[in-house]
Amino acid sequence: MANLESVVRERNRAYHLLETGQSGERPGGEVTNFLGLEEYVQHEEYPIPKEQNKEYLKAKAAEPKSSLAEKAWFLTRWKGKLRKDARRELR
C-alpha cells in the first residue's frame, strides 16, 4: 500500500511540475517537539488562528512538560543510542 501511495504522489508531483512549475506538495518545516527532537510537519490552513482555537490550546496544555535538564538527559542517551547503532551497522 505504501508503494502505491508513493507512485501516486510521484505522478501528482510530476503533473503539477509540468502544469504549474511547482511541486504541488504542501510546504512544511522542522518543528521541535517536547522532547527536543526535530520533526518535519506539513503546514496546514486553519479557519481559526492557533492562539484562538480552543481545541488546539487544550491539546497543547495536555502535552507533557519537560525541563531543560530532562531534555538534555534524554538527548544525550538518544544520540548515544544512534552512535551505537551506527557502529553496529559498520561491523
The position carrying cell 517537539 is 33
Domain map of the chain by residue range?
Answer: 1-45
Q: Read off the DSSP letter of residue 21.
A: S
Q: Check whether 24 has a pLDDT greater than 80.
A: no
pTM listed for this prediction: 0.50
- Is the separation of the CB atoms in 30 and 36 below 8 Å? no
Q: What is the pLDDT of residues 39-73, one digit of tens each?
A: 998 888 877 888 888 988 998 888 888 888 999 99
The one-letter amino acid at 32 = T
Question: Following DSSP, what letter does each residue of 55-82 receive, concatenated?
Answer: HHHHHHHHSPP--HHHHHHHHHHHHHHH
